[in-house]
Amino acid sequence: MKRIALSTTILAVLSLNTYGYDASKAKEFNAFYSHMTQKACADSKLFVKAKDVMKMLREKKPFTILDVRTNGEAAVIALSGENALHIPINVLFKAENLDKLPTDKPIMIVCHSGTRATLAAIGLKRLGFKKVHVVKGGLIALADANNPKNAPMQ
C-alpha cells in the first residue's frame, strides 16, 4: 500500500513538471499579445516623443507624467509640477497606488531610459488603463527636449 501511495505521489509531482506553466495565464497572454503584428507595433501609439510631452506641458494639456524610477533615482533628479506623480515600479501595482492614477486623462510614463516605463505601461494596459503612453527614451530624452524652444513657458 505504501508503495502505491509513493508511486502515485511521485507520478503526480512529475506530471506537474511536464506542464510547467499556467495554461490560463498563457491564454490571457495570447489574447493580449496575439494582435501585436509588425504593422500593429509600428503603428502603436504607446510611445510618445519627449518633445511632444514638452509641447503638452507648454500648452498646459491635461495629463499626468508618471515617474516609475526608484526613490533613490528620484532623490537625485525629480520631476515636479502639478502633472508629476512619482510611484516606483516595484510598488506601482498596489491598489492604493493604482487608485492615484487618473482614468480620464493620458498618463505619460517615464523612467531613466524607457525600459521600466514600457513594463509599467504594459501592466497598466493589461489592467484596463486606456490612455497610457511611454516617453520614448525616458528621462534622458525628456532632459534633451527641455530647451528654450520646447520648455514650458513660465
- Is residue 40 within 8 A of residue 135, CB to CB? The reply is no
On whether both 24 and 79 belong to a single domain, the answer is no
Partners of residue 114 on adjacent β-strands: none
**Nearest C-alpha neighbor of 106 from the set 66, 141, 54, 51:** 66
Is 87 part of any domain?
yes
Instruction: Report which DSSP code applies to 153.
Output: P
Per-residue pLDDT, 105 = 95
CB 132 within 8 A of CB 107: yes
3-state secondary structure of 48: strand
Angle between helices 138-145 and 50-58 (to 10 degrees): 50
66: domain CATH number is: 3.40.250.10
Residues 25 and 84 in one domain: no
117, 141: one domain: yes
Based on the domain organization, do 30 and 47 belong to the same domain? no
Q: Are residues 7 and 73 in the same domain?
A: no
Per the structure, the count of domains in the chain is 2
* 89 and 19 within one domain: no
Q: Is residue 123 included in any domain, yes or no?
A: yes
Q: Are residues 28 and 56 in the same domain?
A: no
- The answer to pTM > 0.85 is no
pLDDT digits (tens, 9 = 90+) for 30-53: 887 887 788 777 777 889 999 999
The CA distance from 150 to 101, in Å, is 26
93 vs 124: CA distance, rounded Å: 8
The reply to whether 108 falls in a domain is yes
The answer to the question of residue 150 being in a domain is no
Domain membership flag for residue 154: no
153 found inside a domain? no
Q: Mean pLDDT of successive 10-residue segments in the chain (154 residues)?
A: 65 59 84 79 83 91 96 91 93 97 95 91 93 93 80 59
Q: Is residue 151 part of a domain?
A: no
At residue 96, the pLDDT reads: 97
> For the segment 71-87, what is each residue's pLDDT rounded down to a tens digit?
999 999 888 888 899 99
Range of the domain at 102: 43-145
Q: How many residues are present in the chain?
A: 154
In 49-139 the beta strands, taken as DSSP E runs, fall at 64-67, 84-86, 107-110, 132-135
pLDDT of res. 128: 92
Grid coordinates representing 46 are: 504607446
